[in-house]
Amino acid sequence: MTLDQAFTAIRAELARATQKFPHWPDDPMHALAVLGEEFGELTRAILQRSYEPDQPEATLAHIRHEATQTAASAIRLLMSVEHYRYAPVPNHPQPGLPPPAPGSD
């Protein structure tokens, strides 16, 4: 695949994904979760190709497809960097766990 072919595939995936999911998360952690989910699917595709080559989805075409979706998600995240609300979220204690060791924070 050439660079031009890769960019063409990514542009097409961006159009498809944006039409299917027109809204994108307002916070970076949820956007990162979307990207992480796509990366996880790419990881699985590569692992299947490497360790389970007899599986129906263990194809180079499937790896290209997942890589394209991962790239499109990364671009959507990148395009929204200025729009994210960067703020800490509330935390809660977890009763029943041992207290932290002195000096561990």
Tally of domains in the chain: 1
Is 5 a domain residue? no
- Tell me the C-alpha distance between 105 and 103, whole Å: 6
Is 98 a domain residue? no
Q: Do the beta carbons of residue 18 and residue 11 sit within 8 Å? A: no
- Tell me the C-alpha distance between 19 and 94, whole Å: 41
Is 11 a domain residue? no
Query: Taking the CB of residue 12, how many other CB atoms lie within 10 A of it?
Result: 12
- pLDDT tens digits, one per residue of 27-47: 999 999 999 999 999 999 999
Predicted confidence at residue 94, as pLDDT, reads 87
What is the domain extent for residue 53?
27-84
- Tell me the C-alpha distance between 82 and 40, whole Å: 26
| Residue 104 predicted with pLDDT over 80 | no
Is 44 a domain residue? yes
pTM of the model: 0.85
